[in-house]
Amino acid sequence: MVDLQSKPFHLSPEDIRWVHSTLASMDLDSKLGQLLFPVGSTTDRTELVGLLNGIKPSGFMFPAGPAAERQELHRFLQERSELPLLLAANLEFGGNGIAKEGTFFAKPMQVAATDDGQQAYRLGLTAGREGAGVGVNWTFAPIVDIDYNPRNPITNTRTFGSDPERVARMALGYARGIWESGLAVSVKHFPGDGVDDRDQHLGESINSLPVEEWEGSYGQVYRKLIEAGAETIMVGHIKLPAYSRHLRPGLADEHIMPATLAPELLGPLLRERLGFNGLVLTDASTMAGFMIAEKRSVAVPGTIAAGCDILLFSHNIEEDFSYLREAVRDGRLSLERVEEAVTRILALKASLGLHRRHQTGTLVPEPAALAVIGLKQHTEWARECADLSVTLVRDTNKLLPIDPVRQKRVLLVVIGDEGRRQTLPDRYKLLVDKLEREHFLVTLLKEQESWPNKQKLSIAELQERFDWALYFVNLETDCTMPSLRIHWSPPMGTDLPWFAQELPTVFLSVANPYHHAEVPRSAVLINGYSGNVYVIEAAMDKILGRSKFKGIHPVNPFD
């Protein structure tokens, strides 16, 4: 049974009647359709209408696009859907998670580097306002993974760091801003990523903490978010062997499954021990961590039977729908379990008031609401967050500040920054512009390019041509990259700072905070955590001595 009056739904008697009457009016196929939540892989109106009239999914998540186009698309879908739709976005860093013109406020680790909960609240408020402006009602955030392992290629700056207390405090601040904007949150990725160095996009990840350590870290974080009223929790394709064995003594290694297929983690742990009454959804079921764990015909109904209420994304939505229908027919998935899941889906919609706004045609705001995208207040907040977060890891030889008069000639070496998955590619161009506005003479060396004159300069030539060197590194997490290590150019790393003892060298990373391992002898190392314009400008002001470094270390940068 689902308690609709209690946290997190808090439904009125009228809302409860809508949930029950809607459920009673649905046939089996309509109920099964609600369990599916596709990614918006097409904007073709004919295909989308066919999906709305056929499968009837509970909602959609579209990637970021032009704000006006996304708003119009959301309006089109809501106007043609029999039931109000949940429209989600990954609003992890700001409004840019749904609108290309949206504010890139900060990566979570950058916010954590301020150690100021107000900055987390502003991130949530910025993301929530801008998401609501285009019709989003659900954010797949906050991320409450804990970045215990520096080699994890996917958590990293997407987390609020390695301190569970700070992670919880920042996540609560973010959630407060989202709730103030009228959206629901989805706390992710249960039971917690960041312990191993695997990526669930590429395979099953493993949280290897003993029960007591998990309870004192991830468990405490989830308890605080659940107590605060988190409406939904996203479950990762992450194994938690110690707790699975604790709840199912004698469980063989080969039977330990990722949480999305582990009933002991979704029922006895999440529902009972943690007391979560809200909606549970899987992380993307197209990830290898889910796809390789079990035959898909077994896994799709299996994750619902295990306790997830929504299957996120589909390899083939018609095929997944057929797997659900067949499982109900042969008894592997009970009608009672289906109706429990659909009840929670409808309850989430009702808790957001979507059923009432559906009747009045106000689920998506008018075009004038797009004025909130990139709002001046949001960019001013982002600029302040950057100033408070940029962190000086070391300045061993007291090279800073750089004098633009005496040290005018700079060699700028760019590493990364052009990957297909960059939040914003070619950030180095902002740096070049900033340097040239300060009247520096910039010589650019990009990754995989040759040195001037097609060879390495001699030490004497190097010192004759340049006053200092600035490394700009933007290597972001990427779900297809198993490592965040720097891959220096062949032969023998021609672009690495081999001259660190010969020329003043400043190393600025606006992504991975663990690059100390790559450049242990670089005299100056600075972490910015986000490759947005605000961080780049703040970092340069600090390099030039116009602003103090204020950021703290959310992780151990020397790990």
For 408, other C-beta atoms within 10 Å of its C-beta total 17
Can you tell me whether residue 442 is helix, strand or coil? strand
300 touches 257 (CB < 8 A): no
* Distance of alpha carbon 175 from alpha carbon 424, whole angstroms: 25
473 touches 525 (CB < 8 A): no
For 459, other C-beta atoms within 10 Å of its C-beta total 13
Q: Can you read off the two tokens belonging to residue 500?
A: 């660190």
Residue 248 sits at φ, ψ, to 5 deg, of: -130, 75
Residue 417 sits at φ, ψ, to 5 deg, of: 75, 0
For 337, other C-beta atoms within 10 Å of its C-beta total 16
Active site residue 283: yes
59 touches 86 (CB < 8 A): yes
* Distance of alpha carbon 162 from alpha carbon 192, whole angstroms: 12
**Catalytic residue selected from 15, 283, 309, 417:** 283
Give the neighbor-by-neighbor strand order of the sheet with 524-527. 391-395, 524-527, 505-509, 468-474, 409-416, 441-446
Q: Can you read off the two tokens belonging to residue 163?
A: 């301190």
Determine the residue type at 283. Answer: D
Buried b or exposed e, range 7-37, using 16+ CB within 10 angstroms? bbbebeeebbebbeebbeebeeebbbbbbbb
90 touches 140 (CB < 8 A): yes
Buried b or exposed e, range 430-454, using 16+ CB within 10 angstroms? bbbebbeeeebebebbebeeeeeee
247 touches 264 (CB < 8 A): yes
List the catalytic residues: 283
